[in-house]
Amino acid sequence: MAVKIKSSRALGTLNLTPLIDVVFLLLVFFLVATRFADEDRELDVLLPSASEAAAVTAEPNELAINISETGSYYIGGQTVDETGLLAILNTAASNNPIGQTVIIRADHRVPFQFVTTAMNLCNLAGIEDYTIATDKD
């Protein structure tokens, strides 16, 4: 015995006109909104100058200080001593006065004094945004 299934007429009477209207309204809204955002930058304005303003001269990026098991400091794969580390930190702080970040990665066998020295050198260079990296176990 064959089973007859009645097809629904709900899909046949679905009206897409309101949906199309909403899509066009959203399109017009976003076109107008992006146009107003561009007009703020098109206005020819002579900006005032400030004597104490410091421009960002380098791309802000994280500086990683690696400390080996023996207490040697490595930056960018090169071994540096404490004075060299301070010079690198001073350069990074002067290039990025707004927000230089430093990540201190120390071997778990190194005495904590080496980590404290790296943190102190960051403070001497004026870098307050430093973190100590750990491994999650």
Closest CA to 71 of 61, 63, 82, 60: 82
24 backbone dihedrals φ, ψ, rounded to 5°? -65, -40
DSSP 60: -
pLDDT at 57: 55
Tell me the Ramachandran region of residue 76: left when phi exceeds 0, alpha when psi lies from -120 to 50, beta otherwise: left
The 10s digit of each residue's pLDDT in 70-108 is 888 998 888 899 999 999 999 988 888 778 889 888 888
What does the pLDDT average to over 104-125?
89
- Give SS3 for 19: helix
On the question of pLDDT at 16 being above 70, the answer is: yes
Cα(117)–Cα(16) distance, rounded to whole angstroms? 69
Question: 62-132 has which CATH code?
Answer: 3.30.420.270
The 10s digit of each residue's pLDDT in 27-48 is 998 887 776 655 555 555 555 5
Between the CA of residue 95 and those of 66, 101, 102, what are the distances in Å? 21, 12, 14
